[in-house]
Amino acid sequence: MTRREWLLAALQQTDHPVTTHEAEQLLAGSPWPSSGRNTARKDLRGLARRGLLAAVDAAGRRAYLPAPTAMAEAEAA
């Protein structure tokens, strides 16, 4: 499992938009604990570019939610 796959799985367990700061905290408890804020930001953007996350505005900040199609595919697997 890659870091991005791990992050996507962790985000699919949340029920609220996740900011870069929250993603950084999630990664701190992952097999890649040394991943920092910039890595979290790049991973979130990369997952959104692939259509697996949807970027939303939460309190004036960029946040991410699992894309509806990604959720359906994960549940079917």
Q: Please report which confidence band the pLDDT of residue 73 belongs to, taking 50, 70 and 90 as the band edges.
A: low
Q: Which residue is it, tokens 């930001």?
A: 41
Q: Find out whether 17 and 41 touch, Cβ atoms under 8 Å.
A: no
Residue at 62 is within a domain: yes
Instruction: Name the percent of the chain lying above pLDDT 70.
Output: 88
**Structural domain containing residue 24:** 17-76
Q: Average pLDDT of 43-67?
A: 93
Q: According to the model, what pLDDT value does residue 76 have? A: 54
Q: How far apart are CA 20 and CA 61, in angstroms?
A: 9
Tokens encoding 67: 């894309």
Residue at 8 is within a domain: no
Q: How far apart are CA 4 and CA 46, in angstroms?
A: 8
Which CATH number covers residue 57? 1.10.10
Q: Find out whether 51 and 67 touch, Cβ atoms under 8 Å.
A: yes
